């Protein structure tokens, strides 16, 4: 069992060899990964030591106190929260060694190519095809709502490789080079004015077979694991206490006493308690994720995150009154990721509307909870055993 003394010694030895004040930022991060202090719960050689995940905050604290740079995780949330756990679970040793290090250091940003115009909530209905050609696959199709595609080097991609199978069985999962010939990324403008997500067209894109994750036809199992990791990652977005939406609301409450009116205190307090409960739940689910068992319970956290964000953003607008409506910058921007603290209350209100859609709609999350957590009878599915090519579209 690893104790705090062991961790402290490991960090001190690392810092003695890599002084943050005199070491290039990228060189420092690469060395941190190689020393097993990136993801301490990952295996040795892949950024960790196989230690308990709960020890990572202690490592991060010691490094921060020494002035060490971070890998700016907000810039690569899909890579860190979705692609990395999927690579760890389904990737070969060569794939893990090729992709995990530059993913963690932020040298390579990742996105996901999942949803399609005709397959959003019904993700198993994807039509993007992958046909084998020698040692490669030729991919054609369209993906949509792809966050970070404009900045990404790699994408995790689900395709249909056997249209003669039922929709859940004929899928295969790949890693796609976003700079490959035939990949066309186009911005989609949001209600906030910016374009942090995109539609992506794949026109005869060649993907080598060694960029396949899992077996041919195993794509749905890989996708399900990735989605469960995504929901945990989304819900865990407010893991530090009083960060995210609740942090901005409580900041206004404390710093602007003149805005407090009768009856609002109880609502602020109630949301604080709910946000703290959601934070602790997300932390527990994160521990399951680290153990390779993200589980369907992440859908509950994801729903709570979406609902709370929207309710908190609404209360912040109510608290600020007319002042909150001063949001006039609707210029078309291409951010990597915009954080709550960098934007006005009006932006937070508008952006929160997407929380109940991204990562799976709240309606689908409730179905998952009903069937996989509460074990209620599944909804009738007439297309369950029908070959995908015979389904009406």
194, 196, 199, 230: the catalytic one is 230
Measured CA to CA in angstroms, residue 55 lies from 38, 67, 76, 189, 290 at distances of 11, 19, 22, 40, 12
pLDDT at 233 exceeding the cut of 60: no
Band of residue 154 on the pLDDT scale cut at 50, 70, 90: very high
Burial of 296 (0-12, 13-18, 19+ CB in 10 A): middle
Band of residue 191 on the pLDDT scale cut at 50, 70, 90: confident
Q: Which sequence spans correspond to the domains of the chain?
A: 8-70, 222-373
Q: 143-152, 191-200, 257-266, 287-296: which range is least confident on average?
A: 287-296
Whether the Cβ atoms of residue 98 and residue 131 lie closer than 8 Å to each other: no
pLDDT in tens, 349-392: 988 888 888 777 788 788 878 887 888 888 787 787 899 999 88
- β-bridge mates for residue 138, sequence order: 131, 206
Chosen CATH of 222-373 out of 1.25.40.10, 1.10.3720.10, 1.20.140.10, 3.40.33.10:
1.20.140.10
d(CA 308, CA 63): 32
**Percent of the chain clearing pLDDT 90 (strictly above):** 55
258 is catalytic: no
pLDDT in tens, 320-331: 888 887 766 777
Range with the largest mean pLDDT of 139-143, 144-148, 312-316: 139-143
pLDDT at 232 exceeding the cut of 70: no
d(CA 162, CA 129): 8
Mean pLDDT of 53-79: 92
Q: Model-level pTM?
A: 0.83
With a CB cutoff of 8 Å and minimum separation 6, the contacts of 306 are 352, 355, 356, 362
Burial of 299 (0-12, 13-18, 19+ CB in 10 A): buried
Band of residue 238 on the pLDDT scale cut at 50, 70, 90: very low
């Amino acid at each position: 069992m690893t104790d705090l003394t062991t961790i402290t010694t490991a960090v001190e030895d690392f810092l003695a060899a890599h002084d943050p004040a005199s070491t290039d930022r990228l060189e420092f991060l690469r060395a941190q990964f190689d020393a097993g202090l990136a993801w301490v719960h990952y295996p040795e050689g892949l950024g960790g030591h196989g230690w308990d995940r709960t020890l990572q905050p202690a490592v991060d604290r010691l490094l921060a106190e020494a002035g060490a740079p971070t890998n700016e995780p907000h810039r690569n949330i899909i890579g860190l929260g979705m692609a990395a756990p999927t690579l760890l679970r389904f990737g070969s040793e060569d794939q893990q060694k090729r992709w995990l290090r530059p993913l963690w250091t932020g040298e390579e940003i990742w996105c996901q190519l999942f949803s399609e115009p005709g397959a959003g909530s019904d993700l198993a209905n994807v039509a993007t095809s992958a046909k084998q050609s020698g040692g490669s696959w030729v991919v054609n199709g369209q993906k949509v709502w792809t966050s970070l595609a404009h900045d990404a080097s790699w994408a995790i991609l689900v395709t249909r490789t056997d249209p003669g199978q039922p929709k859940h069985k004929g899928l295969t999962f790949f890693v796609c080079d976003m700079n490959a010939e035939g990949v066309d990324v186009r911005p989609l403008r949001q209600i906030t004015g910016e374009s942090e997500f995109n539609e992506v067209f794949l026109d005869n894109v060649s993907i080598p077979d060694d960029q396949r994750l899992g077996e041919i036809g195993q794509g749905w199992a890989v996708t399900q694991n990735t989605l469960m990791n995504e929901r945990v990652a989304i819900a865990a977005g407010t893991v530090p206490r009083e960060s995210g939406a609740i942090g901005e609301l409580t900041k206004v409450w404390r710093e602007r006493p003149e805005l407090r009116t009768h009856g609002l205190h109880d609502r602020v307090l109630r949301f604080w308690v709910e946000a703290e409960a959601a934070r602790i739940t997300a932390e527990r689910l994160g521990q399951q994720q680290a153990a390779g068992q993200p589980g369907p319970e992440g859908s509950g956290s994801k729903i709570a995150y979406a609902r709370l964000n929207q309710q908190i953003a609404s209360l912040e607008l109510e608290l600020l009154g007319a002042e909150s409506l001063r949001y006039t910058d609707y210029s078309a921007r291409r951010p990597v990721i915009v954080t709550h603290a960098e934007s006005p209350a009006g932006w937070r209100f508008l952006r929160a509307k997407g929380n109940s859609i991204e990562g799976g709609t709240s309606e689908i999350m409730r179905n998952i909870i009903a069937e996989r957590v509460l074990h209620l009878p599944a909804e009738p599915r007439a297309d369950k055993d029908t070959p995908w090519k015979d389904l009406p579209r």
